[in-house]
Amino acid sequence: MRRNLLALLVALGTAAAAVTAAPAQADPVGTLACPSIPANRDPAVTLVVYRVARAHNANDKVLLSAFEAGWVESHMNNLPCGDKSSLGVFQQRWDYGWGTPEQIMDPVYASTQYVTRAIVCDRNNPGYSAGQVAQCVQRSGFPDRYDQVAATARAQLNEAARTHAIAGGSATDVTGDGRDDVVGFTQNALADVYVATSTGSAFAGTSVKWNDFFSVGGETASTGDVNGDGRDDIVTFAHSNTGDVYVALSTGTAFGGGMKWHDWFAPGAEIGAVGDVDGDGRDDLVAFTHNAAGDVYVALSTGTGFGPGLKWHEYFSPFGEFPALGDVDGDGRDDLVTFTQGPATASDVIVALSNGSSFGAAQKWHDLFAVGAEQPRVGDINGDGRDDIVTFTCNADADVYAATSTGTGFAGTTVKWNDYFCLAGEFPYLADANGDGRDDIVVFTKGSTNDIHVSLSTGTGFLGATKWHDFFGLNGETTL
């Protein structure tokens, strides 16, 4: 998928040609005035800025400052032009020590330059506002502009955080006993991975570390049985401009050392997911470009690595939608599912079935599910072998709706399976916690309590919640 780098270079060349067509003498690289600046953010740029800041463990103020600076300088676009020699999302100048024009036009590089300087500035000036931190890095002639856009920057920061948190997988049986366990990735400077194993009625073990360096901040931490031994392993997508994918195999009592299983998959702002799309018992990689192109790539597991990234669908789950994987027709191969997440009039669920070597045409399987900011999930809640859909409102209503797969559609509209589960700020997930073949609902409360609650599936509803763990998953950690 080096197409992204190529596309960037082509775009740069095109823009340069378009702008330099007018003057008789071509400007040197990186001294092109912008004819105009896009009115809105490029969601791919905002997600990269977010991921890079998380990778450096930037605090909230530094994160906000990056979004303020990016909005003021470029409306969060990777501009191949600017004032004097300014370029890129932060309008950095190659003739003032920010890097080469090519480096500055790499949003990962540009964000790294911004964030590392902002962290130092914040550390040296703890009383600064986010906008003052931005000014400290940018040294603008208009120092007040950054704080003035705080509301816009906050909204885009929240949007990027939500996109980054898309969790399209589900299986977490790391011991291979048929009961799903819970896995927590700290994703801070320590990058620890904790596990609490299911006893069938609780998650056992507090602060039991299964790996002590895996999945740093800004990466997508996931799980799946990539070598097909019946135990779910951990997988992390580095994204960035490396596109690395690391795996750590489960031994049943720990995860082994991290191994690179792919060196270019789901880079930059793409969304990574793990599932068995060819039905050979080994979980594979899926990448959604999640942009206007909407391409979907697959890299099949060989048991010891992932093969080349191949395009399996031309247009599925563009930006704004919530992509996921699940075997919705029960043929043993994971299919594509996307929740369009619009208003009630436009919150569809679209499926593209796997045939083992590609995904078929997109078909609407439901037309009112997971409205707006709800949290959708995919799993087999009634135990018939076909994956179903569940959505959590995670607000004051705390409702949980479900629709079950018939093999050709999802049946049930506004059918509530539980009426009090998952509040704002909590993270819901599906897991077969008691090993009866039906996926249950799990919520990580985080916040001040750090509890895990489970509601078991009866096949037609979820029972009342019970606490299965009282200290697992802090704010900012990924818990699955």
Binding site for Ca ion (CB under 5 A): 225, 227, 229, 231, 233, 276, 278, 280, 282, 284, 327, 329, 331, 333, 335, 380, 382, 384, 386, 388
Question: C-beta of 409: minimal distance to Ca ion in Å?
Answer: 12
Question: C-beta of 391: minimal distance to Ca ion in Å?
Answer: 15
Q: Give the number of C-alpha atoms closer than 13 A to the C-alpha of residue 218, restricted to the C-beta side.
A: 29
Question: C-beta of 229: minimal distance to Ca ion in Å?
Answer: 4
Task: Using the minimum distance from each CB to Ca ion, give the nearer residue, 68 or 440.
Answer: 440
Task: Using the minimum distance from each CB to Ca ion, give the nearer residue, 109 or 255.
Answer: 255
Under DSSP, is residue 104 helix (H, G, I), strand (E, B) or coil?
helix
Task: Using the minimum distance from each CB to Ca ion, give the nearer residue, 177 or 331.
Answer: 331
Question: C-beta of 390: minimal distance to Ca ion in Å?
Answer: 11
Burial class (CB in 10 A: 0-12, 13-18, 19+), 165: exposed
Question: C-beta of 168: minimal distance to Ca ion in Å?
Answer: 15
Task: Using the minimum distance from each CB to Ca ion, give the nearer residue, 76 or 433.
Answer: 433
Q: Which of 182, 127, 75 is nearest to 471 (CA)?
A: 182
Cα-Cα-Cα-Cα torsion 58, 477, 321, 396, nearest 10 degrees, comes to -110
Can you state the angle between helices 60-74 and 150-164, rounded to 10 degrees? 110
Under DSSP, is residue 25 helix (H, G, I), strand (E, B) or coil?
coil
Task: Using the minimum distance from each CB to Ca ion, give the nearer residue, 270 or 276.
Answer: 276
Task: Using the minimum distance from each CB to Ca ion, give the nearer residue, 374 or 380.
Answer: 380
Beta pairing partners, 375: 392
Contact 104, 169 (CB under 8 A): no
Task: Using the minimum distance from each CB to Ca ion, give the nearer residue, 242 or 253.
Answer: 253
Q: Which residues, other chains included, contact 264 with Cβ-Cβ below 8 Å and sequence gap of 6+?
A: 1, 2, 242, 243, 244, 309
Question: C-beta of 319: minimal distance to Ca ion in Å?
Answer: 25
Q: Which of 274, 231, 227 is nearest to 252 (CA)?
A: 231
Question: C-beta of 234: minimal distance to Ca ion in Å?
Answer: 10
Under DSSP, is residue 441 helix (H, G, I), strand (E, B) or coil?
strand
